[in-house]
Structure 1
């Protein structure tokens, strides 16, 4: 994994979660800023996935590569699912869904770093 990119993903997802939390607390619906933030997170995750697969193909990956690949593919679904669910929920809970999605991305990136470094669960 690329640590700088992973740290960037964590920062962007935590900032998006904070923005969504403030929006939910103000009793507002999701807007295009939320979609933009989720889009940026998705692009960063795709770049991370491509780099991860390139490093795995070059035998630079972790010993438990199956779990890492599961995280690498699964994390790509979270921003898209959060955006879809958030758009369907036109109340304050739409941004609440985005808070959960962004926090899940941050936690999964931390766990992927642990798997890459060989830290047991």
Structure 2
């Protein structure tokens, strides 16, 4: 996996989570700026998914548990889309709250993807 891309994704996810937390604490609903942040995060995750599948297909070396790795790779891409829909439906401050949880989950899953690729057992 690309550690530089993973780092960028983690930083973007944590920044989106922090911004959404501030919005939730201010008792505001989700806005277009949240969708833009989730869109950027989604684009980065799609790029990571493409890199992950290319490395799985091309390298002889891959993760020990390929099924779990692929599950994380696909699952992490779904989270921002679902959180955007849920956040739009929830027109209270809990809409941005959903985004906070989703972005934190994305950051943790990206770290776990790196661990799976390197063969770390946690």
TM-score by length of 2: 0.97
Aligned to 2:53: 53
Aligned to 1:82: 83
Shift of 1:62: 1.1
Shift of 1:61: 1.8
Aligned to 1:8: 8
Shift of 1:65: 1.0
Aligned to 1:19: 19
Q: Which moved more, 1:60-69 or 1:79-88?
A: 60-69
Aligned to 1:100: 101
Post-superposition CA distance 1:8-44 (Å, at most 9, x none) = 0000000000000000000000000100000000000
Unaligned runs of 5+ in 2: none
Give the distance between the partners of 1:45 and 1:68, measured in 2 at CA.
14
Unaligned runs of 5+ in 1: none
* 4+ aligned runs moved over 4 Å, structure 1: none
Shift of 1:60: 3.4
C-alpha RMSD of matched pairs (Å)? 0.6
May I ask how many residue pairs the two structures share in their alignment? 121
SS of residue paired to 1:68: helix
Give the distance between the partners of 1:19 and 1:85, measured in 2 at CA.
17
Give the distance between the partners of 1:81 and 1:61, measured in 2 at CA.
29
Aligned to 1:110: 111
